[in-house]
Chains A and B, each alone.
Chain A
Amino acid sequence: AQSVSQHNHHVILSEAASLELGCNYSYGGTVNLFWYVQYPGQHLQLLLKYFSGDPLVKGIKGFEAEFIKSKFSFNLRKPSVQWSDTAEYFCAVNERRDDKIIFGKGTRLHILP
């Protein structure tokens, strides 16, 4: 069965620091990859996704992620975080053959003002 690993459970950064959240998945077949974000008190929402093409994906709010197939990784990055980026971030994977999305455990990001 496929699985998704997020390396950091809780990250604390100061504003303007650079961010990288790790994500690895175990499935060897063709997959779609996602990062979701949940701001305090809000719904889970899509940050960015990779289906095919350029492995460097740009998302909303200045986030980007790079798909490295050889490493089964899809790390999330942002050059300079803001206080408003405080949220929980979930990496997720979907096998192309069905609609199920499998999530990582999430990383709680706390940005100090």
Chain B
Amino acid sequence: GQNIDQPTEMTATEGAIVQINCTYQTSGFNGLFWYQQHAGEAPTFLSYNVLDGLEEKGRFSSFLSRSKGYSYLLLKELQMKDSASYLCAGRGADGLTFGKGTHLIIQP
């Protein structure tokens, strides 16, 4: 089976940096995805990690530590449009399992 844990809600300030953590327990681990989902919309793909280390894509970076079952999504230079839910999803032997998502609130 699989278990994904991430904080329910976080608040950050426009222009700042925020780190959203995700821990996972996955049998047959085969990669971790991050998705962004604005209210009432479909999730959109942000990043994928299968090896340890940091993957950087513009303002967004994602980190993975397989030995610790841990990942984080780092958002820099926050903008108001970054207010959304961020979904961590682990791929394992049973397929892809999503966490409940972290609702990120950006304040001016």
A and B from one complex: no
B positions within 8 Å CB-CB of A: none
Residues of A within 8 A of B (CB): none
